[in-house]
Structure 1
Amino acid sequence: MKKIFFPLLVMLSIISCKNTESDKSDSEMTSANTTVAAAEEKDGIANTIAIANGFDKFKDATEVEFTFNVKVNDTVRSSRHWKWNKKTSEISLTEGDSTKTYTKNDSIPKNKVSIDQKFINDSYWLLFPYQLVWSDPKLTEEKEVAAPISGDTLNKLEVAYSTDGGYTPGDTYDIYYGNDYMIEEWVYKAAGGDRQMATTWEDYKEFKGIPIATMHKSGDGSFQLYFTDVSIK
């Protein structure tokens, strides 16, 4: 899959204007932990985090649907509903009463680029752990550091993208994860270091066995980015 980068369109517009509860058996948990440990030994931290977040199950998904919402204080700034057919690569966006569709490939028409930018942004928030495998970032690990919001001791992985290509080249993400390899917080840093923001990863829910963080909040709670209407088939 070609390298793609997260444009953080939501944050640009704003500047300018825990764990999943489940009834898994002990044997299921042991099997999952064994799979994650094997992934780390074989392919390193990127694959380990992706596997822990259901990457193997996502490969079998045929359709993904979700609504991306952003609230600042008490005002909803964005609400976009997406439907992604993984078999045909057809993606549809519904905003208000308008629905637009395009096919995601290596040659996107100019009049569809703005839709693709929004999809990359929104799907990065939804499925960032998979981008560690799909894209080609430089990864730097640091064990047992203080998380920026909670102050909890977590592991840190710096995810830095090249300054060439993509919608926003040179962006960096610091993700903070626990011993279960689930992201608990992250910090987005725009290229050049002039913009950055930390948010939580919380309210994990499972869809077809795939854990999704459905809520992201700033430290003071004034910014909330959350997902509704999530469906994975």
Structure 2
Amino acid sequence: MKKIIYALFVFVILSCNESKKSESKKQPLTVAQQIANAHGYSNWKNVSEISFTFNEKRGWTWNPKSNNVVLRTLADTISYNRKQIDSSLTRIDKGFINDKFWLLIPFQLIWDKGITISNPSQLKAPISKTRINKITITYPDKGGYTPGDAYDIYYDDNFIIKEWGFRKGNEPQARIINTFENYKDFDGIKIALNHKNMDGRPIVGFTKVDIKVSNSE
């Protein structure tokens, strides 16, 4: 009986030690992961379809699982699959990538491959002039539609993006600086519907945003 009790005691001690080792091996979340999570990235796995209109000009519907895309304009409706893009679709796909980037930049920090993300720093935001956190993402010099471009991402202590600056080809000065505002929650995914420049003028707006979810992954 004593041997059994001793064996159980040793088993419990070993199990506790293994559990502690496993916990110690867990890597802390990166800033990019924390930003994505703050905007609802954990819910993205349930998204079966997302549709939105960019600046009242282009309407998009995207199925992220199949990568089917539909573009709707006043002139035409075009459907294609991002796995099968030829030269006739390049211009259209560039438009989709641009508009999706504005809409889902918090998740692009996780999705985009080959990017460099700087260490976080604190400074005064260019528009609000409040103390804020900043990281810079830089795209590789080759590949993609915007090689070498850089984005300065300004986010608050809750990891919600408040502003960004776009630097073409990683040039020193930002060509575009704008706000992220009018956040709305779509099935747990937070999206900034409006963006204004330093003069307070609207430059990008999203309407007719709709997200369809499915419980099956």
TM-score range, shorter chain: 0.7 to 0.9
RMSD: 1.7
Give the equivalent residue in structure 2 for 1:67: 53
Aligned partner of residue 123 in structure 1, secondary structure: helix
Structure 1 counterpart of 2:119, from 130, 141, 145? 141
Structure label with greater radius of gyration: 2
2:165–2:174 CA contact under 8 A, matched in 1: no
What are the within-5 Å matches in structure 2 for residues 1-233 of structure 1? 42-69=28-55, 79-105=57-83, 107-136=84-113, 137-191=115-169, 193=171, 196-233=175-212
CA–CA distance in 2 between the matches of 1:181 and 1:211? 12
Aligned partner of residue 157 in structure 1, secondary structure: strand
Q: CA-to-partner distance for each residue in 1:171-217, whole Å, 9 max, x for gaps?
A: 00001000110000000000052761100000000001110000000
Q: CA-to-partner distance for each residue in 1:118-172, whole Å, 9 max, x for gaps?
A: 0000000000011111113111133320001111100000111110111110000
Q: TM-score, normalization: structure 2? A: 0.81
What are structure 2's unaligned runs of at least 5 residues?
1-25, 213-217
2:53–2:209 CA contact under 8 A, matched in 1: yes
User: 1:95 Cα shift?
Assistant: 1.1
Sort the Cα spacing of 1:192 and 1:211 in 2 relative to 1 into closer, same or farther, 3 A.
closer
Give the equivalent residue in structure 2 for 1:26: none
User: 1:88 Cα shift?
Assistant: 2.3
Give the equivalent residue in structure 1 for 2:9: none
Aligned partner of residue 100 in structure 1, secondary structure: strand
Higher relative contact order (CA 8 A, sep 6+): 1
Give aligned-pair identity as a percent: 39
Sort the Cα spacing of 1:175 and 1:84 in 2 relative to 1 into closer, same or farther, 3 A.
same
Aligned residue type for 1:141: N
Q: TM-score, normalization: structure 1? A: 0.75
